[in-house]
Structure 1
Amino acid sequence: MSERFLGEVVLPGATQSVAVARHCIAEMLATAGHQDAESARLIVSELITNALIHTASGLHGGVVTVEVVAIDAEVVRVEVTDDGADTVPRARESGGDDCHGRGLWLVEQIALKWGVRLLGAGQRAVWAEVFTGVAVPGRAGEGVVAGAARGGWEVKG
């Protein structure tokens, strides 16, 4: 199976967009027959939250774009494009008392792999591939249990 575009949604750079994106991801994956959307929903939450906090997407008039692509029957890529920042996203170790800073570490734990693509005009896309399982034709109700694998980080220009 070659990659298959499942959908895209452009949202305002507002905290309410996180919940909307989670709902849209679940609908896109269910429509395409993917059984487990929870990891993808969690990842999109973290990536959009980071975009709102750390990039120009969180400023007045900012936007985030979420794109979902099926890599194969059991893996999807979730990509969040933001309006850019002076920093490159990276996972980091947070102290026990830190209230923030665990989002990309969590993405790294859940995703099969993840990375950052630098786009023109200051934009960048942070993506993650995640196992979702898929329905087996003729066997409704049976699915594959999702598992997490440690991912890596890369910057592609």
Structure 2
Amino acid sequence: MKERFLGEVVLPGVAHSVAVARHCVGEMLAAAGHRGVEDVQLIVSELAGNALVHTASGLYGGVVTVEVVAIDAEIVRVEVTDDGADTVPRVRVSGDDDCHGRGLWLVEQVSLKWGVRLLGAGQRAVWAEVFTGQVVPGCAGKGMMAGVARREREVER
């Protein structure tokens, strides 16, 4: 199967847009027949939230664009495009008492792979590929460990 574009949503750079993006992505995936959409929605929340907090998307007039592509029947790629910043997203080490700073670590744990593409006009896109097939036997209800098991399953194919 070749990649299939499932949809895109462009939202204003305001906090409520994170919930809207999460909902829209869930609807796109459900309409396309993907069952395990919770991990994708979690990643969209993290990436859209980061775009609003750390980039020009969170400033007056800023926008966040979320695109969803089916890589195959069980893997999707979500891409969040922001209005740019002076920094490049990276996983950081957070202390036990830190209230922030674990979002990209979470994205890394749940996704098969993720990365950043620098676009023109100062924009950038942060993307992640996520398994959306059935839950791996024995992993249901184990949170992020289910993501680890799915990632290992994909590598073994």
TM class by shorter-chain length?
A: 0.7 to 0.9
User: What is the SS of the residue equivalent to 1:90?
Assistant: coil
How many Å apart are 1:36 and its aligned residue? 0.8
- Could you tell me which amino acid in structure 2 is paired with residue 86 of structure 1? D
How many Å apart are 1:122 and its aligned residue? 0.2
CA root-mean-square deviation: 1.3
Show the counterpart of 1:63. 63
Q: Percent identity?
A: 80
Alignment TM-score, normalising by the size of structure 2: 0.87
Show the counterpart of 1:145. 135
- Could you tell me which amino acid in structure 1 is paired with residue 62 of structure 2? G
Show the counterpart of 2:51. 51
Alignment TM-score, normalising by the size of structure 1: 0.87
Show the counterpart of 1:127. 127
Question: Partners in 1 of 2:89 and 2:83 — Cα distance?
Answer: 13
Would you say how many aligned residue pairs link Structure 1 and Structure 2? 141
Where does structure 1 differ by over 4 angstroms across 4 or more consecutive aligned residues? none
- Could you tell me which amino acid in structure 2 is paired with residue 2 of structure 1? K
Tell me the alpha carbon deviations over residues 15-39 of structure 1, each in whole angstroms, 9 at most, x when there is no partner.
Answer: 0001101110110000000001100
- Could you tell me which amino acid in structure 1 is paired with residue 64 of structure 2? V
Are 1:78 and 2:68 counterparts?
A: no
Tell me the alpha carbon deviations over residues 117-154 of structure 1, each in whole angstroms, 9 at most, x when there is no partner.
Answer: 00000000000000001xxxxxxxxxx1154246xxxx
- Could you tell me which amino acid in structure 1 is paired with residue 135 of structure 2? V
Tell me the alpha carbon deviations over residues 57-94 of structure 1, each in whole angstroms, 9 at most, x when there is no partner.
Answer: 00000000000000000000000000000000001110
Question: Partners in 2 of 1:126 and 1:60 — Cα distance?
Answer: 21
- Could you tell me which amino acid in structure 2 is paired with residue 110 of structure 1? V
Show the counterpart of 1:37. 37
Question: Partners in 2 of 1:16 and 1:102 — Cα distance?
Answer: 21
Instruction: Mark the runs of 5 or more structure 2 residues left unpaired by the alignment.
Output: 137-145, 152-157
- Could you tell me which amino acid in structure 1 is paired with residue 102 of structure 2? R
Show the counterpart of 1:118. 118
Show the counterpart of 1:101. 101
Tell me the alpha carbon deviations over residues 27-54 of structure 1, each in whole angstroms, 9 at most, x when there is no partner.
Answer: 0000000001100000000000100000
Instruction: Mark the runs of 5 or more structure 1 residues left unpaired by the alignment.
Output: 134-143, 151-157
User: What is the SS of the residue equivalent to 1:148?
Assistant: helix
